[in-house]
Chain A
Amino acid sequence: MSDSATANRPASNAPSTGLLEGIVQAEGYKYGFTTDVETEDAPPGLNEDTVRFISAKKGEPAWLLEWRLKAFRRWQTMAPPDWAKLDIAPIDYQAASYYSAPKAASGPKSLDEVDPELLKTYEKLGIPLGERAALAGVAVDAVFDSVSVATTFKDKLADLGIIFCSFGEAVREHPELVRRYLGSVVPQGDNFFAALNSAVFSDGSFVYVPAGIRCPMELSTYFRINAAKTGQFERTLLIADKGAYVSYLEGCTAPQRDENQLHAAVVELVALEDAEIKYATVQNWYPGDENGKGGIYNFVTKRGACRGARSKISWAQVETGSAITWKYPSCLLEGEGSTGAFYSVAITNNRQQADTGTKMIHIGRDTSSTVISKGISAGRGQNTYRGQVKVLSNADGARNYTQCDSLLIGKRCGAHTVPYIDVRHPGAKVEHEATTSKISEDQMFYCQQRGLTAEDALSLIVNGFCKEVLNELPMEFAVEAQKLLAVSLEGSVG
């Protein structure tokens, strides 16, 4: 936890107005604007030339082009996963464009050099840049479509030896680190979308925290899909060296469009001995309209490797957006005594579909993992928790605790819990608890009798349901998450 965030956090459970304000201000999907910036795009289509084009545009070294091509060839032999609970129209991978960059953005050195249109966009998104960032203690690496346009706080971080930059810059400035760790957690052929990302990834963020350093602020990246018909394929690589600590926040929004857009990111985390990584995501990509038209397909591979002894990785996510979400942030618990955690809130309303969960792979001795998943379904939303706990034969003393709670609002939605438990060590302790509940009318009436509107009552109850997960988010994010939950549930009380 950074000092600044601690200072901002109200004492214990002191009330905050964020929730109610959020509902009052809510006007549907408020990030659905587009920004007029000249862009340079790749022609639609996907073949080896596309891969070469992207690599050349980014001025990449030969080894990386080779790496991409290898992934592309692998991808061609693979088939999309077949969706257990998802209803998904076939995607035409040849129809999308795989590269889009704002034209003027070839490396601004300071905020003054950034296209004012872009800055306005970030302002609308509420991203604290510049002075606001300083006050908030947040360093922002803002990714606009494919090119990272502004990185703040780099100098302050650099003093500590912390590297926080765009992926492209990392390839240029720190090729040895990138080469050592890229693909070491999520191999190219891991799955269809990871292979696709490996071939055509555009940009993303890179973080390296050197041994013994606690990163003094929350690092934050806002991704934004702006250009129409472009897929976004970020690649995030985060390494915490021995004894290092870092907390990373990722927020996502996208403009409102009728076509579906593809978002296939890969995030790799590496924690060495005694290192700790906290990774929080608030995802509110455009979910499509109430009939299921448009919206983002969010197919993301996120995985962290606890390589060193006693290392810790925790994922916290609030998933309110996207038409379809397919995502299983996972932990490979290799180091002795390492710890993995997954805290998730996933909400589906209207025609949204979410298939999300985690994989905890216990490889080393005395490894432990905790999974807390809160799924909320409203409208015709379908919410599936899919979680795997695997304990390998050498993992003496492995422990897992999984708690999956589902909340249903209305009669046409669904919640599904699919645990896969694969234990190959007789001494492993694996606990799984699952509950499904409905919002009770008595609770609603109790709140309304105290003066809360039906919307406020619902949002209060839902926030209460998610409390254990929201508590895991840094303060600024928790407030935003509460607002998003309220917005996402709009129209689900009659």
Chain B
Amino acid sequence: MSKLLEIRGLRARIANGREVLKGIDLDVAAGEVHAIMGPNGAGKSTLSSVLAGKPGYEVTGGTVRYLGQDLLAMPADERAREGVFLAFQYPVEIPGVNNMYFLRAALNAGRRQRGQAELDAQQFLKAVRDRLKLLDIGDDLLRRAVNVGFSGGEKKRNEIFQMAMLEPKLAILDETDSGLDIDALRAVSDGVNRLRDPARAIVMITHYQRLLDYIVPDRVHVLADGRIVASGDKTFAAELERTGYAYLGDAA
């Protein structure tokens, strides 16, 4: 199967600061779900930020190919329009900007890039309703300003809803399960499962094995101190849960 994402020897540092990614190698094929685990401060969010093109990081080595293109050469907004989606660990509030308005602007930006006609208000509303149904979530958050005053769980649900609307080819979920109660975790997981697609790759960053009980990954990786130090199949996570990361430190 063709590789959707190919990361080779990726090194990056915080602008004018220390190196955080110290040579990452990772291949993700379309249709696959990968989980990335690892200790706090290991560089997981930094990896997702670098892939999404967040300013403030400097790539010092390596390459990233996305659908055969040089991902790192593209500006952040173009990456997004080309199908790279990041569900934020800490979704950002945008006061005064209606959630629906925001989403429609985003959706149409992507459609323009792909040469598709923009959705008018009615088509857009239909798409919204379809996704709400698919994810089994209410429309209560749609009328509010983007993430403003949302609870932690609501913010995460909203991220997944955006993902469902934008239909990315590569979705990176950064700790989307953190801070969710049991019911919300199940709801969000069900949503992500429904968004699994042969044409879509999903990379989930998580600290918890239990997420992987709901969303069963094809591969599990451990990122420690800026490198992927171990990888395995879905059973690997359970093993990690028992042993912790410490022994990997010795292995690495």
Q: In the bound complex, how far is the Cα of B123 from the Cα of A17, in angstroms?
A: 13
**B36-44, B74-82, B228-236 - the one binding chain A:** B74-82
Most chain B Cβ neighbours within 10 Å, of A19, A441, A449, A466:
A449
> Do B52 and A460 touch (CB < 8 A)?
no
Q: In the bound complex, how far is the Cα of B145 from the Cα of A468, in angstroms?
A: 12
Q: What's the least CB distance linking B197 to chain A, in Å?
A: 19
> Do A15 and B54 touch (CB < 8 A)?
no
The verdict on A80 contacting chain B, using a C-beta distance below 8 Å, is no
**Tally of chain A residues near chain B (CB < 8 A):** 33
> Do B88 and A446 touch (CB < 8 A)?
yes
If the complex has contacts A445-B55, A451-B80, are A464 and B121 also in contact, measured as CB distance less than 8 A?
no
> Do B98 and A452 touch (CB < 8 A)?
no
The verdict on B46 contacting chain A, using a C-beta distance below 8 Å, is no
If the complex has contacts A448-B80, A464-B94, are A13 and B102 also in contact, measured as CB distance less than 8 A?
no
Q: In the bound complex, how far is the Cα of B110 from the Cα of A461, in angstroms?
A: 19
The contact string, 1 if C-beta is below 8 Å from chain B, for chain A 267-279, is 0000000000000
The contact string, 1 if C-beta is below 8 Å from chain A, for chain B 46-59, is 00000011111000
Q: What's the least CB distance linking A221 to chain B, in Å?
A: 29
Q: What's the least CB distance linking A122 to chain B, in Å?
A: 29
> Do B94 and A456 touch (CB < 8 A)?
no
The verdict on A12 contacting chain B, using a C-beta distance below 8 Å, is yes
> Do A449 and B76 touch (CB < 8 A)?
yes
B85 contacts which chain A residues (CB < 8 A)?
A: 449
> Do A463 and B97 touch (CB < 8 A)?
yes
If the complex has contacts A19-B105, A460-B105, are A453 and B77 also in contact, measured as CB distance less than 8 A?
yes
> Do A450 and B76 touch (CB < 8 A)?
no
> Do A450 and B80 touch (CB < 8 A)?
yes
B166 contacts which chain A residues (CB < 8 A)?
A: 450-451
> Do A445 and B97 touch (CB < 8 A)?
no
If the complex has contacts A446-B88, A446-B91, A464-B96, are A452 and B77 also in contact, measured as CB distance less than 8 A?
yes
A442 contacts which chain B residues (CB < 8 A)?
A: 92
> Do B96 and A467 touch (CB < 8 A)?
yes
A456 contacts which chain B residues (CB < 8 A)?
A: 105, 109
The verdict on A5 contacting chain B, using a C-beta distance below 8 Å, is no
The verdict on B124 contacting chain A, using a C-beta distance below 8 Å, is yes
> Do B118 and A17 touch (CB < 8 A)?
yes
> Do B94 and A447 touch (CB < 8 A)?
yes
Q: In the bound complex, how far is the Cα of B55 from the Cα of A360, in angstroms?
A: 45
**Choice from A14, A450, A454 contacting B106 with Cβ under 8 Å:** A450
The verdict on A94 contacting chain B, using a C-beta distance below 8 Å, is no
Interface residue ranges of B67-113 to A (CB < 8 Å): 75-77, 80-81, 85-86, 88, 91-98, 100-110, 113
Q: What's the least CB distance linking A131 to chain B, in Å?
A: 25
> Do A460 and B86 touch (CB < 8 A)?
no
> Do A452 and B94 touch (CB < 8 A)?
no
Q: In the bound complex, how far is the Cα of B100 from the Cα of A49, in angstroms?
A: 61
> Do A464 and B106 touch (CB < 8 A)?
no
**Tally of chain B residues near chain A (CB < 8 A):** 40
The verdict on A443 contacting chain B, using a C-beta distance below 8 Å, is yes
The verdict on A465 contacting chain B, using a C-beta distance below 8 Å, is yes
A211 contacts which chain B residues (CB < 8 A)?
A: none
> Do A451 and B109 touch (CB < 8 A)?
yes
B3 contacts which chain A residues (CB < 8 A)?
A: none
> Do B143 and A451 touch (CB < 8 A)?
no
The verdict on B162 contacting chain A, using a C-beta distance below 8 Å, is yes
A19 contacts which chain B residues (CB < 8 A)?
A: 105
Most chain A Cβ neighbours within 10 Å, of B100, B109, B121:
B109
Q: What's the least CB distance linking A158 to chain B, in Å?
A: 38
The verdict on A157 contacting chain B, using a C-beta distance below 8 Å, is no
B80 contacts which chain A residues (CB < 8 A)?
A: 448-451
> Do B124 and A15 touch (CB < 8 A)?
yes
> Do A20 and B108 touch (CB < 8 A)?
yes
> Do A13 and B106 touch (CB < 8 A)?
no
Q: In the bound complex, how far is the Cα of B100 from the Cα of A10, in angstroms?
A: 13
The contact string, 1 if C-beta is below 8 Å from chain A, for chain B 13-26, is 00000000000000
The contact string, 1 if C-beta is below 8 Å from chain B, for chain A 414-449, is 000000000000000000000000001111011111
If the complex has contacts A14-B121, A17-B118, A456-B109, are A465 and B96 also in contact, measured as CB distance less than 8 A?
yes
> Do B55 and A441 touch (CB < 8 A)?
yes
B77 contacts which chain A residues (CB < 8 A)?
A: 448-449, 451-454, 457
**Choice from A16, A441, A460 contacting B94 with Cβ under 8 Å:** A460
B105 contacts which chain A residues (CB < 8 A)?
A: 15, 19-20, 452, 456, 460
B98 contacts which chain A residues (CB < 8 A)?
A: 13, 15
> Do A449 and B96 touch (CB < 8 A)?
no
Most chain A Cβ neighbours within 10 Å, of B93, B96, B107, B121:
B96
Q: What's the least CB distance linking B108 to chain A, in Å?
A: 7
Q: What's the least CB distance linking A347 to chain B, in Å?
A: 15
Most chain A Cβ neighbours within 10 Å, of B52, B93, B95, B118:
B95
A446 contacts which chain B residues (CB < 8 A)?
A: 88, 91-92, 94
Q: In the bound complex, how far is the Cα of B75 from the Cα of A15, in angstroms?
A: 27
B75 contacts which chain A residues (CB < 8 A)?
A: 448
A468 contacts which chain B residues (CB < 8 A)?
A: 96
Q: What's the least CB distance linking B128 to chain A, in Å?
A: 10
The contact string, 1 if C-beta is below 8 Å from chain B, for chain A 458-475, is 001101111110000000
> Do B81 and A464 touch (CB < 8 A)?
no
Interface residues of A (CB under 8 A from B): 10, 12-17, 19-20, 440-443, 445-454, 456-457, 460-461, 463-468
**27 CB < 8 A contacts A-B:** A13-B98, A14-B100, A14-B121, A15-B100, A15-B104, A15-B105, A16-B101, A16-B121, A17-B104, A440-B92, A445-B76, A446-B88, A447-B94, A447-B102, A448-B77, A449-B52, A449-B76, A450-B103, A451-B106, A451-B113, A454-B77, A456-B105, A460-B105, A464-B95, A465-B96, A467-B95, A467-B96
User: 4 nearest interchain CB pairs?
Assistant: A464-B96, A467-B96, A464-B97, A450-B106
Interface residues of B (CB under 8 A from A): 52-56, 75-77, 80-81, 85-86, 88, 91-98, 100-110, 113, 118, 121, 124, 143, 145, 162, 166
* With A454-B77, A465-B96 already in contact, 11 other A-B pairs whose C-beta atoms are closer than 8 Å: A13-B98, A15-B100, A446-B91, A448-B76, A449-B77, A449-B86, A451-B80, A452-B77, A467-B96, A467-B97, A468-B96
